[in-house]
Amino acid sequence: MQLLAFFFLGNVNASIDDYFKNPIIPSPSNYGNTGILELPNARFMEEGALRFSFSSSFPNEFTSLTASPFPWLEATYRYTEVKNQLYGPFAYSGNQSFKDKGFDIKIRLLKEGFYYPSVAVGLRDIAGTAQFASEYLVATKSVGSFDLTAGLGWGLLGLGGTISNPLASFNEGFKNRVSSQGQGGDFNVKDWFSGQTSLFSGIEYDLKKYGLRFSLEYDTSNPDINPNNPVDVKSRFNLGANYYLSDSFNVGLAFERGQQVRVSFALTGLFSEDIIPKPKPKNVIPLNAEQLKKSKEDKDIFYRSLNKSLQDEQIYIQGASYNDHSVDVAIGTNRFVSHSRSAGRSARIISALTGDEIETINIHHMNGDFEVITYSLGRKEFDQALEYSGSSSEILNKSTLSSNSNNPLHRRSDFKPSLSFPEFNWSMSPSLKHQIGGPEGFYLGQLSWKTDMNLKLRRNLTIYSSYSIKLYDTFNDLINVSYSELPHVRSDIQSYLSQGKNGLQRLQLEYVFSPIKNVFVRADVGYFEEMFGGIGGEIVYRPFNYSGAIGLSLHRVKQRGFKQKFSFRNYEATTGHLSFYNDLPYEITSQVMVGKYLAGDTGATIDLSRRFKTGFTLGVFATKTNVSKELFGEGSFDKGFYFSIPVNLFYADYTTGNISFGLHPLTKDGGAILNQHHSLFSILGDTNRSSALRDWGDLLD
């Protein structure tokens, strides 16, 4: 059996590749997704990776962001500058070159094995203008230091027309491709994998010792006969090289079409794992028999000791009760993202400060002003696990999880910490505001200094404000006005950006409460965001034992003045949505919103996101309303993507907070949603039973 295992497992010793200074990872194609140069291959980034890439030559310059929410899927947003075409008439965009936005996806059909290649299928420029629309089926096989790629291409990749379309034998509809360049937004499914077809191939060679990858491909996109933008071609062979300065950064140089040089770079981050070690729980010396006796006779001694020890972990008591056979403690913390981790560290301290008569430790976890989850832990099993004679699974068997949101412990506990209201907090930080992908340029931005303040008048009632002071901006280049026939709820963004350089971004009074179990309410009034103020609220029903929630929001709003002071414009609207949230398999969360949007249009929004164990989140959304694609304009419907990276991944200690970025390829009036800070689902979305069980392993960390 050992000999048989040896042949199946191969050499179990470390590979020489592990000792090279600059490891080589799959590199991006010109278009951003993993590939060779103009051609794709069947390689993928690691799961949970995010890659920013830039590739410039003549006439096309690509700026791309690629994500891998799963090991078998890559999704790319790409912004292209076409240098030899104008964006539009001179009166509209001056001498600005043409800009194109596109989404791509690539799906792995077969993972590479010893005898067979990796196989993938992909689509470029989905629902885009069709300027770069392509589909492909590609296979890649590793042979030593070589990567060999071959595939079939349609659309732009099929312009060479080297073979007849093999799919035409199944349906004659695959013979012809009828779509032409447009304003985007249409899923031209009938054109996928149709029309001219080409065989393409490429080869890559890794010189691993020096961190170099060399590439050679035969380009079947035939730029000289491109119907949208033909350019001279002296050779259909492209060759290039990538140098890996690290496992996250590489630069590239290529020679294309026999006459053009292309330069590129890519920055890749892997966020599915936290590779920076974090501090272990602080050591708490158990009380001796005499100390335990005194603390039980005088519970204030226990509460003071508990309060001090919890504060050492940056966990704060909201209420506590020392009972005959159990201890209840309500906690709040801004240090730990995982509720299970903060519950476990609190339970360690409680166990060290109490005697054997305590059988159950109840940790009531608060998020903001809501009590969201209660961990009732078996004391005996917990202590055994701490001494390595038990496990987190055994603790779970003797524990219960619950939620009693409308009767929080801090209202009825024996010990209540003294709170002094009003409570004032503030913070200052640099802030970026931008417009991406407009006719004036790829990026116009403003660097500001933002001051956030909140005044807590009492529990559940808070005033939030945010004021921004401009430091530097490029918004003077904004020259285009909106000609939208819809109410200008978002398309006047240029006026807000150019005139509201110093302004009040937010001033809002908020009241939150839970009237009955698992029902949460938020009421607010004030200036909600840069463009709108008003009055309204939302209600969410989150059944603790169910992996989903239902919410309803309703606001009456009025449009703010461009300078973002205290004035309003004439436009008013009522907006509201019924929302359905659900946790799906593979760590996917879905949100479906149905209702009325800021411009008075009605429709639905679908949002899909994946949250990794680290807290790293990738998401996409799309909105379709009763606004026609002609009235909506370029893009045809509202859509975009976002990601959120926990800052915890960059530090050697636990902390909360995220680096978040979201992008609408276009800012339009149709499907516009009111921006709501502290939405109820953002507070409650990760507090049900399934979330606690997902992070249960953190209990002993």
Are 560 and 616 part of one and the same domain? yes
Are 411 and 433 part of one and the same domain? no
Are 380 and 317 part of one and the same domain? yes
Integer Cα distance of 694 and 688 in angstroms: 10
519: nearest Cα among 485, 563, 472, 552: 552
Does residue 182 form part of some domain? yes
Are 390 and 296 part of one and the same domain? yes
Structure tokens at 274: 């936290």
Are 100 and 233 part of one and the same domain? yes
Question: Is 119:137 a contact under the CB 8 Å cutoff?
Answer: yes
pLDDT digits (tens, 9 = 90+) for 149-188: 999 999 999 998 889 999 988 988 898 887 655 555 567 7
Rounded percentage of the chain residues whose pLDDT exceeds 70: 92
Question: Is 198:236 a contact under the CB 8 Å cutoff?
Answer: no
Angle made by CA atoms 494, 499, 502, in degrees to the nearest 5: 120
Of 240, 270, 300, at which residue does a domain stop? Answer: 270
| CATH at 26 | 2.40.160.40
Are 471 and 450 part of one and the same domain? yes
Does residue 237 form part of some domain? yes
Does residue 283 form part of some domain? no
Does residue 1 form part of some domain? no
Of 400, 418, 436, at which residue does a domain stop? Answer: 418
Radius of gyration over every alpha carbon of the chain, rounded to an integer in angstroms: 29
Can you tell me which residue has the tokens 């931008």?
A: 434
Name the residue range of residue 590's domain. 423-458+460-481+491-690
Are 551 and 653 part of one and the same domain? yes
Of 418, 446, 472, at which residue does a domain stop? Answer: 418
| CATH at 571 | 2.40.160
Confidence label for 483 from pLDDT (cuts 50, 70 and 90): confident
Does residue 695 form part of some domain? no
79: nearest Cα among 660, 665, 475: 665
Are 364 and 432 part of one and the same domain? no
Return left, alpha or beta for 467; rule: phi > 0 is left, psi -120 to 50 is alpha, else beta. Answer: beta
Are 61 and 147 part of one and the same domain? yes
Q: How many C-beta neighbours within 10 Å does residue 264 have?
A: 22
pLDDT digits (tens, 9 = 90+) for 664-684: 755 788 999 999 888 999 899
Confidence label for 529 from pLDDT (cuts 50, 70 and 90): very high
pLDDT in the model for residue 18: 59
DSSP H or E segment with residue 561: none
Are 347 and 392 part of one and the same domain? yes
Are 468 and 391 part of one and the same domain? no
The gap from C-alpha 93 to its chain's centroid, in whole angstroms, comes to: 32
| CATH at 296 | 3.30.300
Number of domains the chain contains: 3
Are 265 and 301 part of one and the same domain? no
Question: Is 369:375 a contact under the CB 8 Å cutoff?
Answer: no
Could you give the 3-state DSSP secondary structure of residue 475? helix
Angle of the 379-386 helix axis to the 339-353 helix axis, nearest 10? 100
Q: 499 or 457, which is more confident?
A: 457
Does residue 282 form part of some domain? no
Does residue 593 form part of some domain? yes
Question: Is 316:334 a contact under the CB 8 Å cutoff?
Answer: no
Does residue 467 form part of some domain? yes
pLDDT in the model for residue 1: 39
Q: Which residues contact 676 (CB under 8 A, 6 or more apart)?
A: 528, 538, 553
- Lowest pLDDT segment from 126-135, 158-167, 379-388, 407-416: 126-135
CA distances from 666 to 131, 380, 590, 623 (A): 17, 58, 23, 13
Confidence label for 130 from pLDDT (cuts 50, 70 and 90): confident
